[in-house]
Amino acid sequence: MLAVALGATTVTACGNDWGTAPEDQGSPTTADSNTATTSGEVVAVDAPGVTDTEIRVGGVASVTNPLGGHYGDSFDGVQAYFDMVNAEGGVHGRKLVLAAKRDDKLASNKAEVDALLSVDKVFAVLPVATLLFTGADRLVRDQVPTFGWTINPEWEAKDGYPAYNMFGQSGSFLCFDCGTPTLPWLMEQAGAKRAGVLAYAVPQSADCADGVRASFDEYGKSTGTELVFVDKSLSYGPSDLSVQVSKMKDAKVDFVTTCMDTNGVVTLAKEMKKQGLDAVQSLPNAYDHQFLEEFGDLFEGSYVRTDFAQFEVEDKPEGLQLYLDKMEEAGKEPSENSMAGWLNAELFVEGLKAAGPDFSRAKLIDAINEMTDFNAGGAIDPVDWTKAHDQRKSDTRFCQFLSRIEDSTFVPVFSKPGKPFVCAVVTPDGVKTEYSA
């Protein structure tokens, strides 16, 4: 009886605290405690990390995590952009300072994110480029402007998770299992008909394979392509893919896409070459020059997709050229991660400018969320931030930059002068091709 009474009392007395009730939060519209004055050129701002001379931000990246991830060069992109802006006088009379470069090590993402807010007291968090992003909840709860590389599901706003303060390098929407016309369209362009997909038996990878399946269910017929081989039960880690390749050969697969890491795609490419499976590969995460240097011969003819204009494009957009010049000035190698950092920094600065001299965290977030065509000087396809958090930037238009690996180099394809991005556009008559600046 005593135990039952004690239990009942405990259940009654205890509750849950989810932080600020997520369902009560929308995109914030009220400014935090700013005291703006109009005397002098610098308007006083009462916000964490902001002084009369500086705006301090800090970021966190996976640098020494023993489980993998070497994303530290995202700091280089942010620093290069800040150096450029500071050389021109800063923003609102203040210098931009990347005050903290935190490494989230093993199991410490939340602690390092907390430290950015409580120890470094930064105004905004950028860049974030981490294997896991357990600190995201705090950033969403406190509505801290956050900019980073969208490889974690925490970037996307969902019901009950108002991540409208989280800004990826080219949108924050992530849907691994959503169908898009991108792959069927690419197959059509490449003259391929029969696709195969391989994935690990882990949630994100398997969901990605489901997304590929949904893509062909929806757009296969209109592009004359079909998915004939799916294997999403591969073990993570080293494995033998000889049987899978043999089966794809039997199924006359001529286009292969994967939801695997570097180990997986390299093992697959070796096996394909060994068994003589002459199929085009689509590589979603392979815009890596070291990867190409090491394994280019295995991937001849493969397509590599990015959401920014790749460095090899001939008619370089202004934003891309600026990035390449500033990285060279800084003595840093251009890379996908540093490009993401650069894009993060540019969005942050543009947002600050739009927020006005009496800026605050909330005003910055609102200002960015009102942008409808942020394109970083043409380095990315325009992002409509009014809907880039929780839905595709277009339900019918899917743009990307594509290159093909030839002689172990990235050769841009499907680009037009002044319009580096190619879009698969869904129309009532099928999937059409358009080009975008």
Partner 1 sequence: MTAAAAVQPVLAAGAVGDFFEYAVRGIPFGCVYALLAVGLVLNYKTSGVFNLAFAAQAYASAAVFYVVRKEHEWALVPAALLSIVVVGAALGFLLDYALYRHQRTASPLAKLVTSLGLLVAMPEMVKLALGPGVKANPPPLWTVRRTDDFLWRVGGSRFVLDAGQIATVLATVFVVIGLTLLFRRTALGLQMRAVVESPRLLRLQGVDTDRVAVVSWILSSMLAALVGVLLAPLFAQLTSLDFFTLLVAAIAACVVGNLTSISGAFLGGLALGILQAELAGFLPTDSVVANGLRPSLPFVVLFALLLIRQSVRSARTVTDPLAGVDPPPDPPPADIRPAWMTTATRAFAVVVIVAGFALCAWVFDDYWVGLIAAGVCLAVVMLSIVLTTGVGGTISLCQCTFAAIGALATAQLTQHDVPVLVAMVGGAAVAAAVGAVLGFPVIRLPGIYAALATLAFALFFEGVLINLSWVSGGDTPLRVPRPTVLGTSFLADRPFLVLAAAVFAVAGVAVIALREGTTGRFLDAVRTSDTAASSVGINPARTRLVVFVLGAGLAGLGGGLVASFSGQANYSQSFTFFIGLVWLVLVITAGSRSVQAAIISGISFFVFPALLDRLFTWPVNFVDTNPGAPPWLLDIMGFFKPEWAQGVAFVLFGLGALTYAKHPEGIIAAQTSASIRRTVRFVERRRPAATSPSNGLDLEAPA
Of 239, 240, 246, 241, residue with least CA distance to 275: 246
Residue 42 makes contact with partner 1 by CB under 8 A: no
Give least dist CB 251 to partner 1, A.
Answer: 10
What is the DSSP track for 288-321? Answer: -HHHHHHHGGGGTT-EEEESB--TT-SS--HHHH
> According to CB under 8 A, which residues from 304 to 333 bind partner 1?
none
Buried b or exposed e, range 127-154, using 16+ CB within 10 angstroms: bbbbbbbbbbbbbbbebbbbbbbbbbbb
Q: In the set 64, 396, 409, 433, which binds partner 1 (CB under 8 A)?
A: 64
Straight-line distance from the first to the last Cα atom of the chain, in angstroms, rounded to the nearest whole number: 73
> According to CB under 8 A, which residues from 282 to 301 bind partner 1?
290-291, 294-295, 297-298
What tokens were used for 154? 């925490």
Q: Which CB sits closer to partner 1, 267 or 436? A: 267
> According to CB under 8 A, which residues from 397 to 416 bind partner 1?
none
**HSE of 302 in the Cβ direction (CA atoms, 13 Å)?**
27
Residue 2 makes contact with partner 1 by CB under 8 A: no
Q: Which CB sits closer to partner 1, 56 or 316? A: 56
User: How many other CB atoms are found less than 10 A from the CB of residue 1?
Assistant: 5
CA angle 111, 116, 118 (to 5 degrees): 85
Give least dist CB 430 to partner 1, A.
Answer: 27
> According to CB under 8 A, which residues from 144 to 173 bind partner 1?
153-154, 158, 161
Give least dist CB 131 to partner 1, A.
Answer: 8
Q: In the set 216, 229, 410, 414, which binds partner 1 (CB under 8 A)?
A: 229
Q: In the set 107, 217, 372, 418, which binds partner 1 (CB under 8 A)?
A: 107
Amino acid sitting at position 199: A
- What phi-psi label fits residue 56: left (phi over 0), alpha (psi between -120 and 50 degrees) or beta? beta
Residue 134 makes contact with partner 1 by CB under 8 A: yes
Q: Which stretch binds partner 1 (CB under 8 A): 80-88, 215-223, 224-232, 312-320?
A: 224-232
Integer Cα distance of 374 and 18 in angstroms = 33
Residue 274 makes contact with partner 1 by CB under 8 A: yes
Residue 10 makes contact with partner 1 by CB under 8 A: yes
Task: Examine residue 420 and say whether the peptide bond preceding it is cis (omega within 30 degrees of 0).
Answer: no
Residue 226 makes contact with partner 1 by CB under 8 A: no
Q: Which stretch binds partner 1 (CB under 8 A): 83-91, 261-269, 339-347, 360-368?
A: 261-269
